[in-house]
Structure 1
Amino acid sequence: MTQRTVTRRITARDTRDGAGVSLKRSLGSTPGDRIDPFLMLDEFYSDRAEDYIAGFPAHPHRGFETVTYMLAGNMQHRDHMGNEGNLGPGDVQWMTAGRGVIHSEMPQQREGLLRGFQLWVNLPADEKMRSAVYQDINSARIPVYRGEGFSLHHIAGELALPGGSSLGYVNGVDGQQYSTQPVYADIRFTSARALKLGLPAGHNAAVYCYDGSLEIGGERICAGTAALLSPGDSVILDGEPGSGALLIAGKPIGEPVVQYGPFVMNSNAEIEQALRDYRDGTLTD
């Protein structure tokens, strides 16, 4: 197996989005800080209500997917299709905006810790105008693999685990539906150890460390850092006690990316059409 190594680090930047929610943005901080097919990765993490209470009032999306994963606190999703989901610790919301979604994401707490992540996954041109899909995935449906010194929350994708066992697509997130075939896992270390995982060789991959620190191929990354990985079919994460990291991987699309706020298309003309459709009330038709 060819082991992946760190080719680039991206330090998460403080920013605000929605109606003023405090975030740390790693992937997507600038257009050059992406890894095909992933457009953006945000971490929201605060026990100060003023950092999150305003939430994300109703807003549009077109042309990509959003994946929200909660570690602590409660967030409510509502969209124009009548879907409503209340995300608690360990829950996932996987929304394929496709042609168009108008939705809101609002905290369901007035105090206490709110922590989680939102990942944006691009769609290829022939899927950008597909019908919208909403998946509300309760934490009880997310398999947790526990080994010596670590746990792995398997949100989606094909992973080979220590000992040769394999995890396939789960939770209704059918990777064969989507040409990006996304992989998403949350790995937490309770003691120091090296964990080797197999990944599809043709996928681009990144690791985001959110607690503590870990080493990949001799390169140490600390909390608040995303590491872009070289090609290969495996990765070794050497974690310290208390460290936590997200592993994401996906099949690259290889198409132009033109983004204007919540719209991600392949050309300026398509962005202008999305803006017209939103203005005219036809974005979600």
Structure 2
Amino acid sequence: MNQINVQEQIVARPASDGDGVKLLRVFGGPQLQRFDPFLMLDEFGSEQAEDYIGGFPPHPHRGFETVTYMLQGKMEHRDHIGNVGLLEDGGVQWMTAGKGIIHSEMPKQTEGMMRGFQLWVNLPANRKMIPASYQDIAAGDIAVHQLAEGTVKVIAGRTRVNDTELNGYFSIADTEVSYLDISIEAGQSMHITVPTQHNAMIYSYQGQIQIGDNRVNSKAKTLSRLSGQGKVVVENPTDSVARLLFLSGKPLQQPIAQYGPFVMNTHEEIEQAIQDYQAGVLTD
């Protein structure tokens, strides 16, 4: 079995989006091919209402999918199709923007903690203009597996953790995305199988872990991009629980052109998306 080790580490940086929502940009921006098929990951989390109360008023998307995973809090989704959904503790919203969607994500609380993640997943060229769709999945519908070493919540994909095959709620044909939320108990370790030819990443968001055969340290708020195929060992050398996201996906290996909320394959397609939005026909 080939070794899997850390190829690159990125520390999440403060940013803001929507109507002044404070967040951490884990990755995104230039050189997106190295994350293929993923485009961006944000972490948001605050007990201060002023950090999130502005929410994300109506805005457009085209050409990719957004996955919002709420650890704690309440957020309401509304879109031009007529979908309305309330994302609550542990719930997941999987939205395919396709040819175009205009939606809002607004807090349904005025105090207390709001914490979660938003992941952007690219669509292949032949599916970028499919009709938009949306799913709102409650926490109770997503499998959580209790292992001796900790817990694994399987949001998407099929993978193996400590030689136990786990299946997620979502199965994404084009990119075969695996999306796991993992808690590792103090002093324990887990082996995660990275599917052949996938790009894989681990985002440590609570506590500290060590990754790979060379035991690279990863503190909280650090993304580790992996290289190699086979199994990656993740250890928790501390005396408290560590939490992390594991992401893997099959690269599309297609050109990426991005302008804000639009992700296409060429600059001409981006110009068309802007024109369509300005003309009010993005979603037609």
Which category of TM-score, normalised to the shorter sequence, fits these structures?
Answer: over 0.9
Number of corresponding residues: 279
Cα offset, 1:145, TM superposition:
0.8
The answer to whether 1:189 aligns with 2:184 is yes
- Distance in 2 (CA, whole Å) between partners of 1:102 and 1:252 is 27
Partner of 1:265: 264
Say whether the 8 Å CA contact 1:213–1:221 is kept in structure 2. yes
Q: Secondary structure at the match of 2:275?
A: helix
The answer to whether 1:107 aligns with 2:104 is no
Residue of structure 2 aligned with 1:222, choices 219, 234, 237: 219
Q: Secondary structure at the match of 1:271?
A: helix
- Distance in 2 (CA, whole Å) between partners of 1:133 and 1:266 is 21
Kindly provide the amino acid, as one letter, of the partner of residue 224 in structure 2: A
The answer to whether 1:145 aligns with 2:145 is yes
The answer to whether 1:277 aligns with 2:272 is no
Say whether the 8 Å CA contact 1:3–1:236 is kept in structure 2. no
Q: Deviations over 1:7-36 (max 9, x none)?
A: 0001101000001000101110x3136500
Cα offset, 1:188, TM superposition:
0.8
User: How do 1:1-285 residues align onto structure 2 when only pairs under 5 Å count?
Assistant: 1-28=1-28, 30-32=29-31, 35-162=35-162, 164-168=163-167, 170-171=168-169, 173-176=170-173, 179-217=174-212, 218-239=215-236, 240=238, 241-285=240-284
Cα offset, 1:161, TM superposition:
2.4
Cα offset, 1:233, TM superposition:
2.1
Say whether the 8 Å CA contact 1:99–1:132 is kept in structure 2. yes
Q: Secondary structure at the match of 1:82?
A: coil
Say whether the 8 Å CA contact 1:13–1:24 is kept in structure 2. yes
TM-score, scaled relative to structure 1: 0.95
- Distance in 1 (CA, whole Å) between partners of 2:110 and 2:31 is 36
Deviates more, 1:272-281 or 1:230-239: 230-239
TM-score, scaled relative to structure 2: 0.96
- Distance in 2 (CA, whole Å) between partners of 1:32 and 1:242 is 33
Kindly provide the amino acid, as one letter, of the partner of residue 131 in structure 1: P
Q: Structure 1: which 5+ residue stretches go unaligned?
A: none
**What is the root-mean-square deviation in Å for CA atoms of aligned residues?**
1.1
Runs of 4+ in 1 over 3 A off after TM superposition: none
Q: Deviations over 1:62-108 (max 9, x none)?
A: 00000000111111111111111111111000001010110000011
Say whether the 8 Å CA contact 1:150–1:191 is kept in structure 2. no
Q: Deviations over 1:103-129 (max 9, x none)?
A: 000011101100000000011111111
Kindly provide the amino acid, as one letter, of the partner of residue 197 in structure 2: G
Q: Structure 2: which 5+ residue stretches go unaligned?
A: none
Q: Secondary structure at the match of 1:26?
A: strand
Q: Secondary structure at the match of 1:202?
A: coil
Q: Secondary structure at the match of 2:43?
A: strand
- Distance in 1 (CA, whole Å) between partners of 2:151 and 2:157 is 16
Cα offset, 1:174, TM superposition:
2.6
Say whether the 8 Å CA contact 2:184–2:190 is kept in structure 1. no
Structure 1 vs Structure 2: percent identity of aligned residues?
Answer: 50
- Distance in 1 (CA, whole Å) between partners of 2:200 and 2:18 is 27
Q: Secondary structure at the match of 1:60?
A: strand
Say whether the 8 Å CA contact 2:98–2:128 is kept in structure 1. yes
